[in-house]
Amino acid sequence: MTKTTLTVIKADIGGFVGHSAIHPDLIVKAEEELQSSKDKGQIKDFRVLWVGDDMALVMTHDKGTNSKEIHKLGWDTFVEGTKVAKELKLYGAGQDLLSEGFSGNIKGMGPGCAEMEFEERTSEPFIVFLADKTSPGAWNFPAYKMFADPFNTPGLVIDENMHGGFEFDIMDVKNNKTITLKAPEESYKILAFIGAVETYVIKNIRRRGDKMPCATMSTDKLSLLAGKYIGKDDPAMIIRCQSGLPAVGEVTNPFAFPHLVPGWMRGSHTGPMMPCSFADSNPSRFDGPPRVIGAGFQIAEGMLVGPRDMFNDPGFDNARQKANDVADYMRMHGPFEPHRLPPDQMEYTTLPKIQKEVKERWMENSDGPSTKDLADQHAYQATKDDELE
Ligand code: F6R
Ligand code: MG
Ligand code: MG
C-alpha cells in the first residue's frame, strides 16, 4: 500500500494591492521553484494555490509529516518569492517570514502548515480549504458540523463505518496544550471548548474505530508567535472524504452558512466567512469579508488530480448573498463590539496608548464601590477560581 504525505504550507509574502490579493509573478516564481524540487525527486507533485494575499504550496511526497527537507523547500520557495515581492514593492513583502533563517521545522516560524500522512485507498478524494482574513479557530464550526453533527452529515447515522464516531485533538493555542475528546459522547465537552475560537482550535480529527486520519488544520497563531501584530494567521485545513468518511457534499455543506469569524479589517473585526470560487477569492471590501476556497483533489499514487474549484457552484449563491447582507449589518456597528473584537482579541489597538494619555483624567466615583471594594471582589473571585482548579 502506498504511503503518501500531503503537506500544505501557506504564507503571505506580499500583497497586491495592499492586503487584497496576490501578484501573478509570485505564483510563477513558486511554480518554478517547486518544479525544480519535483525534478530533483524531493516531492512527487505540487500545486500553487492562493486565497486573498496568501499563497499555499500544496505538495505530495513520501517523507512523512514534519520533514525538515520538505519544510525547508517550502521556506526557500517563500524566500525566493519574497525577492520578487520586494522588487515589485508589493505590500508587506515577506511579512510572514518571522525568522531570519530556517531552523528545521516551519511550524512556529510564521507560515501556517497542515499536513497528513496516509495510506492511499482505492480512491482518495480530499478537499484543501484555504481562508483569508481570519484565524485557525474559524475551522472549528464547519469541522464539528462535518464530523459530529448528524443534521449536517447523515452518514454519521446511516453509514455503519462512521457509526463509531470521531475523535478530536483540540489545542489550547494560548498555553500550547492538546486534549483528545470523543464524539458523540463527549460532544458537549468538545463544544464547550471549541466555541471559544480564539483559544481552542481543532488540530486533527481521526475515525475512532481504526484511527484513520481524516482532518488536519494549521494552528499557527502568528500574532502570538511574533508577540505583536505581523499578519493574521490565515489558516489551511485538509479534509479526507467519502467511503466511511463524510462525503464531499457533507464536507462542503457547513459553508452554506456564512458563520461569523474573527479577523477581517486589521484582524480586529467579526465578520461572515464567505465561501467563494478561486476567481472571487480577493477580499477588497473593508479588506474582506473573510474568504474561504475549497480545492478538491483525487490523489493517485502521490500525484494530484485537480484542483476542482468546489465553491464555484450556484449552490453557494445564497451563502454569498447572506454573507454580504451580514457584512452590511455588521459594518453598520462601526467601531462598536461585537463587530469590533473585544480588546484582548484585537490585532491592532491604540487603547493602551489612549489609556496612558488620559490616565490622570479618570476620577473616582463617590457613590460606587471603592477601588478597595473592587480589589477585594477580584481577590474573592481569584480564590474561587483557584478552588475550581
Ligand atoms: C488583516 C489585514 C488587513 C490590514 C489592513 C491595515 O488581516 O491584513 O486588514 O490589517 O489593511 O494594514 P496596514 O497596517 O499594513 O496598513
Ligand atoms: Mg497581508
Ligand atoms: Mg492574508
- The string of pLDDT tens digits covering residues 299-353 is 999 999 999 999 999 999 999 999 999 999 999 999 999 999 998 888 777 887 8
Name residue 127's beta-bridge partners.
239, 296
How far is residue 98's CA from residue 10's CA, in Å, rounded to a whole number? 13
221 confidence band (pLDDT: 50, 70, 90): low
Decide: 34 and 59 in contact? Cβ < 8 Å: yes
Domain that holds residue 245: 3-331
Tell me the ligand closest to 14's alpha carbon. Answer: 2
Nearest residue (by CA) to ligand 1, atom 3, is 266
Report pLDDT for 192: 98
Is residue 133 domain-resident? Answer: yes
Is residue 240 domain-resident? Answer: yes
- Averaged confidence pLDDT in the chain: 92
Is residue 380 domain-resident? Answer: no
Report pLDDT for 97: 85
How confident is the model over 177-195, as pLDDT tens digits? 899 999 999 999 999 999 9
Q: Phi/psi at 211 (nearest 5 deg)?
A: 60, 25
Q: Phi/psi at 143 (nearest 5 deg)?
A: -65, -40
Locate 71 and state its grid cell. Answer: 519544510
Please state the pTM of the whole predicted model: 0.93
Matching residue, cell 504525505: 5
Is residue 374 domain-resident? Answer: no
| Bridging pattern class, strands 54-61 and 236-240 | unpaired
12, 16, 19, 90: residue to mutate for ligand 1 pocket, most atoms within 8 A of CB = 19
Is residue 352 domain-resident? Answer: no
The count of other CB atoms within 10 Å of the CB of residue 165 is: 18
Is residue 383 domain-resident? Answer: no
| Bridging pattern class, strands 177-183 and 200-207 | unpaired
Q: Is the per-residue pLDDT at 230 higher than 60? A: no
How far is residue 335's CA from residue 205's CA, in Å, rounded to a whole number? 37
The per-residue b/e assignment along 252-286, b for 16 or more CB within 10 angstroms, e otherwise, is: bbbbbbbbbbbbbbbbbbbbbbbbbebeebbbeee
Total tally of structural domains belonging to the chain:
1
Q: Which atom of ligand 1 is nearest to the CA of 265?
A: 9
